[in-house]
């Protein structure tokens, strides 16, 4: 069905379906898990809980990423921009599935705050898209820059023996860098410093709460 033939109710139902599948369904990646056959080294209870907290944060971040991209794609004006956002969302879906799988391996659960992160991120993404494609792409570029920083920090903080989580985060970092570069090359605008600061503050709230909850 062509997008222009969809009613407002159709779009609302489609987005509700995507939200439910993101939050409740088991994610299935299109690409193999980067951890592959990497041996799962035994971790102390303390290290396992710490690794689980970090991976829970990254899983929550991928929930937010799905919502951001879906919100931005919904209000994007240029079909090419909309398609690039959908494509990035699919790759972020791989990240979601990999983090989810690693959480199961660590006998840990996702964040109970994920519905909140999804709703808030979708609203922010839709607003960014409504402000124009250059702003929306700039938002993608800045988001990915900040995510890259978080992933770098998590790679430093992971227990040395947790090579499976490390392989996953390293591939995620490569993908995030590419998404940011693609958004900048497509004409993403540099965001004002206050917006960048607000994004960083929001991100810190999410990461600190998701580690425990």
**For residue 4, what pLDDT is reported?**
52
**For residue 25, what pLDDT is reported?**
53
Banded pLDDT at 13 (limits 50, 70, 90): low
Range from 53-57, 66-70, 83-87 carrying the lowest mean pLDDT: 83-87
Is 4 a domain residue?
no
Task: Tell me what percent of the residues of the chain surpass a pLDDT of 90.
Answer: 22
| Number of domains the chain contains | 1
pLDDT digits (tens, 9 = 90+) for 127-174: 887 888 888 888 888 888 888 888 999 999 999 899 999 999 999 999
**For residue 19, what pLDDT is reported?**
58
Q: What is the pTM of this model?
A: 0.83
- 50 pLDDT above the threshold of 90: yes
Is 29 a domain residue?
no
Q: How far is the C-alpha of 142 from the C-alpha of 55, rounded, in Å? A: 22
The owner of tokens 């599948």 is 21
Banded pLDDT at 194 (limits 50, 70, 90): confident
Is 177 a domain residue?
yes
Range of the domain at 151: 41-212
Is 15 a domain residue?
no
Banded pLDDT at 2 (limits 50, 70, 90): very low
Q: How many CB atoms lie within 10 A of CB 133?
A: 23
- For CA atoms 89, 92, 94, 97, the dihedral sign is negative
Q: How far is the C-alpha of 83 from the C-alpha of 67, rounded, in Å? A: 15
**For residue 54, what pLDDT is reported?**
93
> Which CATH number belongs to the domain containing residue 200 in this structure?
1.20.1260.10
pLDDT digits (tens, 9 = 90+) for 95-128: 989 999 999 999 999 998 888 888 888 888 888 8
187 conformational bin, left if phi > 0, alpha if psi -120 to 50, beta if neither: left
Is 12 a domain residue?
no
| 136 close to 128: Cβ distance less than 8 angstroms | yes
Is 34 a domain residue?
no
**For residue 24, what pLDDT is reported?**
58
Task: Tell me what percent of the residues of the chain surpass a pLDDT of 70.
Answer: 87
**For residue 30, what pLDDT is reported?**
77
**For residue 20, what pLDDT is reported?**
54
| 106 close to 168: Cβ distance less than 8 angstroms | no
Is 118 a domain residue?
yes
Is 16 a domain residue?
no
- Sorted by sequence, the CB contacts under 8 Å of residue 87 that are 6+ apart come out as none
**For residue 59, what pLDDT is reported?**
92
């Amino acid at each position: 069905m062509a997008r222009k033939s969809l009613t407002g109710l159709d779009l609302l139902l489609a987005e509700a379906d995507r939200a439910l599948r993101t939050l409740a369904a088991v994610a299935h990646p299109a690409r193999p898990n980067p951890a592959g056959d990497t041996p799962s080294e035994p971790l102390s209870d303390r290290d396992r809980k710490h690794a689980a907290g970090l991976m829970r944060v990254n899983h929550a971040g991928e929930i937010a990423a799905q919502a951001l991209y879906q919100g931005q794609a919904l209000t994007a004006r240029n079909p090419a921009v909309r398609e690039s956002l959908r494509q990035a969302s699919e790759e972020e879906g791989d990240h979601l599935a990999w983090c989810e799988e690693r959480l199961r391996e660590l006998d840990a659960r996702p964040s109970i705050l994920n519905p909140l992160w999804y709703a808030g991120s979708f609203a922010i993404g839709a607003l960014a898209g409504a402000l124009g494609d250059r702003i929306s792409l700039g938002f993608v570029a800045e988001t990915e820059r900040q995510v890259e920083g978080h992933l770098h920090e998590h790679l430093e903080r992971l227990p040395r023996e947790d090579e499976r989580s490390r392989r996953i985060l390293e591939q995620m970092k490569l993908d995030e860098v590419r998404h940011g570069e693609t958004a900048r090359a497509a004409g993403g605008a540099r965001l004002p410093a206050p917006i960048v600061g607000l994004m960083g503050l929001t991100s810190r709230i999410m990461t600190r709460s998701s580690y425990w909850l």
